[in-house]
Amino acid sequence: MNWFPQIGAGAVAQFPLQRKRQWRAITNLLESGELITLPDAQGGQIQWRLSYQELTDAEVASLTGLFAASNGQAGSFGFVDPFANLLGWSEDLSKPDWQLGLLMRASGLSDPVGTTRAWTVQNSSGGEQAMSQTLGIPGSYTACFSAYVRSDSSGTIGIIRDATRVNLPVGPQWKRIQVSGMGVSGATQSTFSLAIAAGSSVRVFGLQVEAQPWPSPYRPTGPAAGILEETRFADGDLAVENTAPGLSACQLKLVSRV
């Protein structure tokens, strides 16, 4: 599958951008005059209006190359919602999206925003254990995985994307940790993990993955969303304007099926 290219240090879009969500319903008028309306679950879509400035020649080549590979409006490609926390169930570690190994979990703990939505994750085993979630974003995509963590006793926690790992201190004060960068080259999925040392207990909150190099304000999630594998160009042409030597601008519209 082709993917919409990232630009700069790893952004999907520039501001300003517009996102318009549409739902569709099917209505049937019976002979009796009764009107029956049902949602069309397969008919929803998101419309995107993206504006880019100061694109390099390489970035323009990536956009125009995707347009050509997609045969304009005809073909689909993958697009990642630039507003989305891509993780599923960021505040419910009991869901099957999360793989916890031998870790024990408990919910309803105080968190850094003054509510009780944090989880305690305890490793009572004799070796390090990880809680992880795998997402369908390619290894070539830059992403940032972040979380708020604290522990009653000082220690170390590992935050991981695929083969990239950062070990950071954790203590009694809440802190936001992160790992950023690309995954495994050529991979079609990426796995994001927190590694808990043997005999340790860590409180976690605000788990978030974004298709950009730095974390933005935390957004809680339900079922995983934001990875849009049926996206198309909405227009039959892609106009690029040269604004300076080696720099260009363009505007484009996309439609994503959801």
pLDDT at 196 over 90: yes
In angstroms, the CA 25 to CA 173 distance is 49
pLDDT at residue 117, rounded to an integer: 98
Q: Dump pLDDT digits (tens) for 62-77.
A: 999 999 999 999 999 9
* Mean pLDDT (whole number) for 156-174: 97
pLDDT at 128 over 80: yes
Torsion 84-85-86-89 (CA) sign? negative
* Mean pLDDT (whole number) for 198-213: 97
Mean pLDDT of the chain: 96
pLDDT at residue 36, rounded to an integer: 87
Q: Dump pLDDT digits (tens) for 235-250.
A: 999 999 999 999 999 9
* Mean pLDDT (whole number) for 76-97: 98
pLDDT at residue 248, rounded to an integer: 98
Domains along the sequence of the chain with CATH? 17-83+227-257 (no CATH), 104-210 (2.60.120.260)
